[in-house]
């Protein structure tokens, strides 16, 4: 299911022995457009220190209670590497973080998360995955690698979702709006869409743009270039955050832009596991 990251801010993060804090931001990998870390304000018990929590740790989210349980302890969080979340997170920072929790590197294979598609498969001791599913995921990842090929030369730094919100959108024939949010797959933590606010041109009008439709992200001048005209974006199906954005709406969007739907690859997962 797709989740609006704005809705996930202030979700409670609970360790195996109590509450850690609340989500304040997300860091995503601008190569695969996947959320790699939740930035959590640990509150008074840890002097309001901000800590990173990996989706690898997330265990059975309770969406109704707005809570994400994680399979780590408060003591582990207390002694975790002190990373300045107000500065770019380097690969060295990540190696230190992953090593501390005993996680294999997510960048160590051909998939979104190591060799697989889901972050929980990297949890130490995870052993109920199923060989058949692993094989199907390898096929899926072969497809996803091709989709990510256009981003091979991107700056590899992790990006703050809060910081990227507000970036201006450049269509092929001029400016069209700005990034106002993100929709993420709640299983893979992949960003499926950027929410684009075009209200400077059309009052209250928001549309979605998939990361793979982006021609380039210019971090220095905070702009995102897309391979569509302003008119094509104007006529795209409107996004309303108060309504569920389901497969029917996605299909309408992909038909409008004449692009291949990402979920066609999901057919590989149709067989029983």
- Domain borders along the chain are 2-147, 161-266
Range 2-147 classified under CATH 1.25.40.10: no
Strand intervals (E) in 18-113: 18-29, 34-41, 50-53, 67-69
Q: How many CB atoms are located within 10 Å of the residue 124 CB?
A: 10
Q: What six digits make up the tokens of 58?
A: 């997330």
- Residues 252-262, buried b or exposed e (16+ Cβ, 10 A)? ebbeebeeeeb
Under CATH, domain 161-266 is a member of which superfamily?
A: Photosynthetic Reaction Center, subunit H, domain 2 (3.90.50.10)
**Contact call for residues 168 and 223 (beta carbons, < 8 A):** yes
User: Would you say how long the chain is, in residues?
Assistant: 273
The pTM (predicted TM-score) of the whole model is 0.85
What is the Cα–Cα distance from 185 to 207, expressed in whole angstroms?
17
- Which DSSP symbol is given to 224? E
CA gap 40, 122 in Å, rounded: 21
Tens of pLDDT, residues 72-99: 999 999 999 998 888 888 888 999 999 9
pLDDT in tens, the chain (273 residues): 999 999 999 999 999 999 999 999 999 998 889 999 999 999 889 988 999 999 999 988 999 999 999 999 999 999 999 988 888 888 889 999 999 999 999 987 778 898 888 998 898 776 544 444 455 455 555 544 554 454 444 445 689 999 999 999 999 999 999 999 999 999 999 999 999 999 877 776 899 999 999 998 888 899 999 999 999 998 999 999 888 888 999 999 999 999 988 876 544 443 443
The reported pLDDT for the residue numbered 137 is: 53
Q: What's the pLDDT at 154?
A: 42
pLDDT of amino acid 11: 97
Structure tokens belonging to residue 264: 């066609």
């Amino acid at each position: 299911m797709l989740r609006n990251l704005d809705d996930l801010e202030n979700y409670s993060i609970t360790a195996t022995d109590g509450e850690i804090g609340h989500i304040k931001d997300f860091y995503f990998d601008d190569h695969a457009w996947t959320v790699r870390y939740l930035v959590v304000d640990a509150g008074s018990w840890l002097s309001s220190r901000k800590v990173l929590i990996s989706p690898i740790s997330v265990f059975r989210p309770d969406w109704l209670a707005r809570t994400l349980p994680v399979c780590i302890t408060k003591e582990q969080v207390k002694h975790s590497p002190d990373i300045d979340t107000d500065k770019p997170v380097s690969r060295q920072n990540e190696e230190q973080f992953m090593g501390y929790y005993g996680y294999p590197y997510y960048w160590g294979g051909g998939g979104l998360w190591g060799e697989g598609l889901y972050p929980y498969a990297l949890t130490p001791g995870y052993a109920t995955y199923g060989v058949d599913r692993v094989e199907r995921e390898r096929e899926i990842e072969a497809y996803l690698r091709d989709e990510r090929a256009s981003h091979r030369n991107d700056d590899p730094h992790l990006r703050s979702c809060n910081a990227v919100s507000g970036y201006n959108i450049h269509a092929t024939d001029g400016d069209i709006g700005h990034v106002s949010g993100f929709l993420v797959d709640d299983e893979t933590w992949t960003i499926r869409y950027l929410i684009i606010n075009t209200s400077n041109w059309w009052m209250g009008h928001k549309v979605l743009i998939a990361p793979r439709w982006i021609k380039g992200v210019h971090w220095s001048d905070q702009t995102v270039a897309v391979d569509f005209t302003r008119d094509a974006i104007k006529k795209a199906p409107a996004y309303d955050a108060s309504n569920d954005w389901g497969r029917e709406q996605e299909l309408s969007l992909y038909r409008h832009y004449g692009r291949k739907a990402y979920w066609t690859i999901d057919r590989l997962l149709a067989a029983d596991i």
